[in-house]
Amino acid sequence: MLHVNTRQAILPHPVTVHIGLKPVETVKSFVNFIAPGEDLGVSETSPRLYRVVDGCLAVYHLLADGRRQITDIIGPGRAIAQQPAHDGNRSIKALTYTEVEVLDPAANPALAAETALEALMRLTRHATLLGRMNAAEKVANGLLDLAEQFPRKLRQGRPVLTLYLTRSDLADWLGLTIETVSRTLNQFKRDGVIDYAHAEIVTLTRPERLKEIASGNNPTTSARSSKGKAA
């Protein structure tokens, strides 16, 4: 499943990739190419770090009845530790064609520690989002997070993001229904806070206003969307 990529020459450092129990040293990094919907899988032997070079990964857990909770979205430059083999309910899947650099945690201890700390901080923020925010606040926070991770070229000085997540993905990430996500995005568009001609390209036309909504400093929208908190 490991492939040598033409971009190896620009990757930051050599990587040790474990195959079975025997380390194989190489002077160049390896990368995996992952198709949409493909899972990173688990390792029975050697732990690994995956750093996204291009594309988008979703980390999620499945409940016994098939319901899905996305706990994090991973964009370019961020890394994630491979899940242990015994954690059968946790998966890491690509939401688009994704290229990941395969790293050995033992050879990259600083990155491994940074990745673990970042994952903990993001999980803490996500728990607050799920438990204490209404629909407008959740969607605003989600859009700001995605705009930081998946920026496109500015449009008239305004941030533009590539939205790899479907409405269903957003709902499973933000703890909402698909209908509430769609309704909230449409309301943001009517209010001139965001704009989109295509579902996958979103312009933050009023980013400061979106930040106000995300912080809860928006009584009008909060009242209008409070029912989405339990949706």
pLDDT at 22 over 70: no
Which pLDDT belongs to residue 180?
98
Say whether 133-230 and 6-126 share the same fold: no
Q: Would you give the DSSP letter of residue 2?
A: -
More confidently predicted of 182 and 84: 182
Fold of 133-230: Arc Repressor Mutant, subunit A (1.10.10)
Angle, alpha carbons 174-99-103 (nearest 5°): 100
Residues 59 and 182: their CA atoms lie apart, in Å, by 22
What CATH superfamily classification does 6-126 receive?
A: Jelly Rolls (2.60.120.10)
The pTM of the full predicted model, rounded to 2 decimals, is: 0.79
Neighbouring C-alpha atoms within 13 Å toward the C-beta of 89: 11
CA 39 to CA 190: how far, in whole Å? Answer: 37
Q: Is the pLDDT of residue 99 over 90?
A: yes
* H/E stretch holding 32: strand 30-34
Whether residue 194 has pLDDT greater than 60: yes
pLDDT digits (tens, 9 = 90+) for 25-77: 443 458 889 999 999 876 656 678 999 999 999 999 988 888 999 999 999 99
pLDDT at 9: 36
| Domain definitions of the chain by residue range | 6-126, 133-230
